[in-house]
Structure 1
Amino acid sequence: MTRRRGLALSNGQYSLGGGARFEEFYTLPPGFSVENFDANSLQLDDSTSLQQEPCPPESGWIVRDAELLYVPSPCVSRLTFSAKLVRPGFVEFSYRMPKNNRALSLHVDVRNQQCQSYREAVQSMLTKYSPKSSKGRREESNGDWQKRTLDLRNGANVISWTVTNSAGRKAPSEPIRISKIDILGLAFTRECSLCPPGTSSDGGAAECTPCAPGFYAPKGAAKCGRCPQTQYSGPKSEHCSERPACRPSDFYPVTEPCVNGTTRTTYKKVQPAVCRDDIIGAATMPEPSATRTCPPCNPGMGKDANGLCVFCPVEHFSQGDTCQRCPVETVPNYGFEYVQWDTMPPNIATRCEYIKVNTVCDIGEAWLPSGTALVSAPSLQKGIAMEFELTVAEGFSNPLAPVDLPGSPQSPVAHFSIVFETSCADSSCVLYVIESPIMFSKSSQYRFLAAFNGSQPRRVWSHSILKRSSAKYMIAFLRSGSTSGEDSIMDQARILSINVTNIGSKAGLQGGGASRCLPCPKGRFGKCIPCPPGHYMTPNHILVCPKDLDKLKCAYWDGLDWDVTIPLSGSRDGIRRDIEKGISGATVGARKTNHPGSWPTRLAPVINTKLLGTGDQKPRRVSLSPPENT
């Protein structure tokens, strides 16, 4: 037994002293109330009151399955708690917004004896909830779970959690979850509370510690017990479950790095490794495959000296084999084009999130490369969302468009597209596509892009990108029954290809690789590969400059405009005539100009001209006879 400020605490108990904790929601706790309002009756007059409206059954703020939830409803729903503080304190609560939350607005409001006006309260409620820190408000995050703290003054305080839903009855069904609410600053109490199931305390604690996976604890436990060897448990478990027999899907293939042009496939156990292979009829881990020739890389990539696939260098392209330099008058289409899934491509990171439990989820890789697709892991862990993020740190740039041209729905800067399919037990499974906040963004809000419920045949989804800034995209898969902790283990999502176009560059580093080189439109220079030093060019020719100027770029002509670095004569027409005479092999007469750095009075013979092919044609060399001297 331990004493905490004169309070004797036994093992398996905790106390906040001058505070109250709410984390077991079998019914709505004392001091809490719920009000539902007609969203169309909101008025800003201080003298009016909101008209209460019965929400559809089992919607708004409710208690269900020992959880405090907001289930999307067409009405406005407010959860309120009243408390009298004897000293300044705070309210701290942990909550989880649904993946698809663009229609939901959560506003947390504190009113005390110096409360704000009714008009201000309603206006604040209708303002989109912002997670930014401000005076008296602090927020932390752990994956999808957020922890928010608001300061309270001494005296009477009314805390309210108000949710508005702009989608009405068409809102998604995934709820907002509150896992715990702490109120500090109350009168000191000698009351002790038993630790909830799945947690423990060895005495003298202000809170109970959740049990780790593989452990369990009944209510009021002093210590979490370890599951027997033939059983397993998830995090914060009240009991253990029997470990099932292994299935073939409990093992996934891994392609080893290439060595001397060959590789092989080995196998690993899906994490957490809870299945048993010592039961009659259980699947066992497959043997490694025979060595084979290394598979090709993804388009825009080639193998390095170690046989690993890396993006091609700047101004190079590849179809997954050898990186080749792009021809002059073309521009590489830098991007991510992932169609090969023998190994995890660059810039993709996988993770998992517990839907109902605010703790770290660790099942190893949540998505697994399987050769033909990236597939969701067949994990035995329940109540999880399997996610992967694709990061485009370099941002976006359309090389064929003017740099200052803003993106629009009619002319986007880039595109992000996936080809996918899902197989589910029922329609409650869902695949989300989400734009994640980037680390240096001012906003920490997820932006929902699309959702697909139930089994989906192979289909293509595409998104237009209008901004040039860095971006991060998340694909999240929730299996059937996952929101209630009864996941259908056989559900699976398969990503067959990912394509992100027009990836830009940052800090001198090019993002992604090019699968081909695009012809430059006439009349534009943009980021097209220029005439190399010591040459001048036309749409189909590169011509060598005179020997005494072979280290300088003379001129560049794309068919309409000239890019001149050394003046040839006093006018653009004169430049055109000079180049045309050089191309035709005709003699160039003496020209004397006053331009610094102008050409000499006589051009040397033009020889060793390279003629560029188009499309898949390889460049070929031709020789021109030296022009006749004059």
Structure 2
Amino acid sequence: MSLSACVFQTDYYFEYTECDSTGSRWRVAIPHRQGSCSGLPEPVRGTDCTFSCEAGKFLEMSSQQCTSCAAGSYSLGSGVRFDQWDSIPAGFSNLATYMDSGGSGDDSMTCNNSSWTPQGSHLESNRDDCTVSLVYAVHLMKQGSVSFDYQYVDSNVFFEFFIQNDQCQEMDQTGSEKWIKLTSNGEWGTHTVNLKSGTNILYWRTTGMLLGGKPVKPVLLKNIQIEGVAYTSECFPCRPGTFSKTPGSSSCDLCPRNTYSGKGASSCTPCSKTHKCSMIRCTFVFVGWEVAGDHIRIGVGGSDNDYLILNLRVPGFKLPTSVNDASATEFGRITFIFETNCSADCELYFMISTNVVESWVGSKPRQAYTHTMTKNASVSYTWAFQRTNKASDHVNDIAKIYSITVTNAMDGSASGCHACAMMSQQDGSSCVPCPAGHFINKDTNQCQECPSNTFLSGHHIYGQEACQPCGPGSKNNKEHSVCFNDCTFSHMDRNRTLTYDLSALSSVGSIMNGPSFTSKGTKYYHQFNISLCGAEGRKVAVCTDNVTDLSSKDLQNESADLNNFVETFVCQSTIIPADGRGFRTSLSSQSISLADTFLGASVHKNLDGVTVSSDLFPESSWKVPDINFFYRSPQPTASCLNGRSTVVTLRCNPEKSARGELTVPSKCPAGTCNGCEFNFLWESSSACPLCTETYYHSIEGACKGGVQDTLYVWNEPKFCTKGVPLPNKTSAHCEVVSLWVKAGIGGGAFMAILLVSLTCYFWKKNKRLEYKYSRLVMSANKDCELPAADSCALAEGEGEENEDDVVYSNTPSLLGKLKAIASKDQVTLKTGAMMQKIQLCITGINIFK
């Protein structure tokens, strides 16, 4: 089958080949449909590779000459511009991935339906937690640049722009070039990056973090312009709402007020008097917020997915002179009463600049909301209402705001009058401001300093009741603006005073809990920073959002100071690890304050409505009471109507270091079981009482060489720290034989001498008695000598023997003598018996006579 000849230029188009090593190229004809015709024009040598047309002209490929653009179109010369997004332009592609190393391949986890979506005048990013990239490849013959307009208001979306070369290697970029900065609601920002010659692959990548279950606000992108391309072979039509009336235009102009235009217009058409012009087309007039008697409300009509914005800017806050700015915990507060009535998933946002403070989904009854300002800076309050983010018809959904009140606003007007302090009590005396920490005495109308251990409320300084008492374990600062703990604590326990020195815990402590996961498996952590005591009551715990990778210089301006970090006693940040979503560094976002006010420190389990559950942490093995530091953040949220509370429990553990270790409840690894009450346990040796003399005892050693040592040791178990040091070993002079031993020896010697003396005494006395008895017996024998007789006579020699026997047989032993001493009756009886015997002998003699 023969092909028809390619006669008309509509059958084919011209294109240049790649440039060769000499910088030359060829122009070739390519059919619109492969194999549709034959006889294409022969290739001819093309223009130089560095050739380009000036702005307002394009390269006409047939003649290879620069030609002026027609009216209603424009050309950048060596650049391309994309400002119409009815569809994704040629050359752009979408790449959706789920960049989590722990992700699964489940269909519910895929991101096939996530992409950048054209919305006519702009592109809109995805609203889920997928990572979606908009990719465009361009080849530059010389150095150029790329610029684009964007709207980026949600810090829960990570928005980055980076460039790769033809080898998929990422180009060197600074953090400010890669990470896009947040914008205010309704504000369009512009981002520009220089490009190198050669192939540049441009990536606009967004990653949503649905940590709280709410959909994120998408990133909006428009007006992408690339400079440095070799040539452009066509002019771009003016987008709707713009026009170019002269040929050779390099740009299109906006239509004047109350006129409109379509695509490629060379002029604008006036609107009728009964319509409002949106520059693209004339429509019936719809307003955003409108006044309606005692309230303002969302106007009826408009697109469902539009954000209707109400903005209130406050230049700053001015506190009474009696409150010191440097130590104030509250600079002002905003209170508004609102109501929503919706038939779909409408949502009302309350924001400070680009940060969403609170949001309400669906219909809500009339209620009040209060937000406290803890920084003195200019602030922009924003209310944004969206009927629904789906394609449906809910134009009658409405939001109402009945009143908005801002206190202490700079340049604001007074809503009432109150008594002031007078210079003197004389009539006609003028008002004077009270110094910091002073209240107005009701009786004298003069300034008077608050009593010790009280602080002055910033809202009311009239009367002594304005001086609020400090909580237990705290004292006031010099200005009586706050109460704080100076890192000391005392407690009476069983008739003894326990004193604590917590100075080692004065610096900020940090803890990161175990990983949590989103619905699609993204891993993230919660990091908590805690400022326990000291610093004169200043809030030194800081949590920072580094999503936009702001420089330190940016952090010093007011906007960054207000939006990118919080300073408080206890704060929380959400950390996405670098390996979790393919980032080069860990990202921190959603920084919130958990403790704006210090309530006090106590060993009790509750204070001022804040209670510590006994089953959150295991019982301590050390018999030392825990110290509870109580904090409160009065800012209400949709889930915590009374605000949040935090308790940091200090527990004595001598086995820990002075800094110790922070932990969260095992059954509530996020630090909270209900999202409103946070609890932390800080175990440390610094949480043990200071040592006193009652915590150690002495041990005396033996006397060696006339010296005796005394050692001092701690009582076991030792649960005190610092305080009184353990005394050094002492030595004292001593003798080898102790006093008691000497007393014992002396007493024993005395008793021995006494016993010997008594023995000698009684022995001598017994000898005398024995001698007298012997004389008596001898005398009796002489007097009783008789002739021999059978009955009473004695044989010769028997008398002496008997006498000897009497003498020696009756000589008592030492024991017998002692017994005799004990009983004189025995001696008397014995003597009486002898006398009786002698008497018998005498009687016998008389008989014989």
> TM-score scaled by structure 1?
0.51
Change in Cα spacing, 1:79 to 1:3, as seen in structure 2 (3 Å) is closer
CA-to-aligned-CA distance 1:547-584 (integer Å, 9 cap, x gap): xxxxxxxx9655748xxxxxxxxxxxxxxxxxxxxxxx
> Partner residue of 2:444?
542
Tell me the distance in 2 between the aligned counterparts of 1:416 and 1:422: 19
Change in Cα spacing, 1:204 to 1:502, as seen in structure 2 (3 Å) is same
Of 418, 432, 435, 2:336 maps to 418
Change in Cα spacing, 1:9 to 1:556, as seen in structure 2 (3 Å) is closer
Tell me the distance in 2 between the aligned counterparts of 1:164 and 1:466: 31
Check conservation: 2:162, 2:170, Cα contact below 8 A. no
Check conservation: 1:96, 1:144, Cα contact below 8 A. yes
Matched, 1:145 2:188: yes
Check conservation: 2:209, 2:216, Cα contact below 8 A. no
> 1:107 offset after TM fit, Å?
1.2
> 1:204 offset after TM fit, Å?
1.9
Check conservation: 2:301, 2:396, Cα contact below 8 A. no
CA-to-aligned-CA distance 1:518-556 (integer Å, 9 cap, x gap): 9xxxxxxxxx7354387999945339xxxxxxxxxxx96
Matched, 1:513 2:414: yes
Of 58, 75, 84, 2:139 maps to 84
CA-to-aligned-CA distance 1:368-409 (integer Å, 9 cap, x gap): 4444223334576997543332232232537675543253xx
What amino acid does structure 1 have at the position aligned with 2:347?
A: V
> Partner residue of 1:103?
156
> Partner residue of 2:402?
496
Of 56, 60, 70, 1:10 maps to 70
Check conservation: 1:234, 1:382, Cα contact below 8 A. no
CA-to-aligned-CA distance 1:138-190 (integer Å, 9 cap, x gap): xx999422222222222222221121223258342542221221111101123
Check conservation: 1:94, 1:178, Cα contact below 8 A. yes
Check conservation: 2:126, 2:132, Cα contact below 8 A. no
What amino acid does structure 1 have at the position aligned with 2:141?
A: V
> Partner residue of 1:47?
none
> Partner residue of 1:288?
none
Tell me the distance in 2 between the aligned counterparts of 1:158 and 1:178: 17
Runs of 4+ in structure 1 over 6 Å off: 113-116, 379-383, 533-538
> 1:113 offset after TM fit, Å?
7.8
Matched, 1:433 2:350: yes
> Partner residue of 2:206?
163
Of 370, 390, 397, 2:319 maps to 397
Check conservation: 1:93, 1:178, Cα contact below 8 A. yes
3-state DSSP of counterpart to 1:39:
coil
3-state DSSP of counterpart to 1:432:
strand
> Partner residue of 2:467?
none
1:178-577 equivalent positions in 2, closer than 5 A: 178-202=221-245, 203-211=247-255, 214-227=258-271, 233-237=277-281, 240=282, 272=285, 366-378=288-300, 385-397=307-319, 402-407=324-329, 412-427=330-345, 429-436=346-353, 446-480=354-388, 490-503=396-409, 511-513=412-414, 515=416, 517=418, 529=421, 531-532=423-424, 539-542=441-444, 557=448, 560=451
Check conservation: 1:200, 1:217, Cα contact below 8 A. yes
> 1:104 offset after TM fit, Å?
0.9
Change in Cα spacing, 1:70 to 1:538, as seen in structure 2 (3 Å) is closer
Matched, 1:34 2:94: yes
3-state DSSP of counterpart to 1:28:
coil
CA-to-aligned-CA distance 1:482-535 (integer Å, 9 cap, x gap): x86x885544322112222344x5xxxx644254649xxxxxxxxx73543879
Matched, 1:73 2:128: yes
Tell me the distance in 2 between the aligned counterparts of 1:146 and 1:196: 20
Change in Cα spacing, 1:383 to 1:144, as seen in structure 2 (3 Å) is farther
Check conservation: 1:423, 1:493, Cα contact below 8 A. yes
> 1:96 offset after TM fit, Å?
2.1
3-state DSSP of counterpart to 2:100:
helix
Change in Cα spacing, 1:182 to 1:142, as seen in structure 2 (3 Å) is farther
Of 48, 59, 70, 2:114 maps to 59
Check conservation: 2:123, 2:222, Cα contact below 8 A. yes
Check conservation: 1:125, 1:162, Cα contact below 8 A. no
> 1:231 offset after TM fit, Å?
5.8
Highest RCO, 1 vs 2 (Cα 8 Å, sep ≥ 6):
1
3-state DSSP of counterpart to 2:339:
strand
> Partner residue of 1:129?
180
> Partner residue of 2:691?
none
Tell me the distance in 2 between the aligned counterparts of 1:53 and 1:159: 29
CA-to-aligned-CA distance 1:193-222 (integer Å, 9 cap, x gap): 333444432232233345456444343332
> Partner residue of 2:80?
20
Tell me the distance in 1 between the aligned counterparts of 2:235 and 2:179: 39
CA-to-aligned-CA distance 1:589-610 (integer Å, 9 cap, x gap): xxxxxxxxxxxxxxxxxxxxxx
Structure 1 gaps of 5+ residues are: 44-51, 132-139, 244-271, 275-362, 437-445, 519-527, 544-554, 562-630
Larger % of helix: which? 2
> 1:86 offset after TM fit, Å?
1.3
Tell me the distance in 1 between the aligned counterparts of 2:275 and 2:244: 23
Single out whichever of 150-159 and 390-399 deviates more from structure 2.
Answer: 390-399
Check conservation: 1:395, 1:469, Cα contact below 8 A. yes
Tell me the distance in 2 between the aligned counterparts of 1:141 and 1:370: 27
> 1:448 offset after TM fit, Å?
1.5
> Partner residue of 1:599?
none
Tell me the distance in 2 between the aligned counterparts of 1:371 and 1:30: 52
Change in Cα spacing, 1:163 to 1:532, as seen in structure 2 (3 Å) is farther
Aligned residues: 377
Check conservation: 1:383, 1:487, Cα contact below 8 A. no
Tell me the distance in 2 between the aligned counterparts of 1:96 and 1:405: 36
Change in Cα spacing, 1:234 to 1:9, as seen in structure 2 (3 Å) is same
Check conservation: 1:104, 1:164, Cα contact below 8 A. yes
Change in Cα spacing, 1:219 to 1:511, as seen in structure 2 (3 Å) is closer
Q: Which has the larger radius of gyration?
A: 2
3-state DSSP of counterpart to 2:372:
strand
Change in Cα spacing, 1:207 to 1:58, as seen in structure 2 (3 Å) is farther
Check conservation: 2:98, 2:111, Cα contact below 8 A. no
What amino acid does structure 2 have at the position aligned with 1:461?
A: Y
Tell me the distance in 2 between the aligned counterparts of 1:129 and 1:33: 21
Identity of aligned residues (%): 25
Check conservation: 1:22, 1:182, Cα contact below 8 A. yes
Tell me the distance in 1 between the aligned counterparts of 2:165 and 2:124: 25
3-state DSSP of counterpart to 2:421:
coil
Structure 2 gaps of 5+ residues are: 1-54, 59-65, 433-438, 453-849
3-state DSSP of counterpart to 1:417:
strand
CA-to-aligned-CA distance 1:9-51 (integer Å, 9 cap, x gap): 22222222212222333443333233233332399xxxxxxxx
> TM-score scaled by structure 2?
0.39
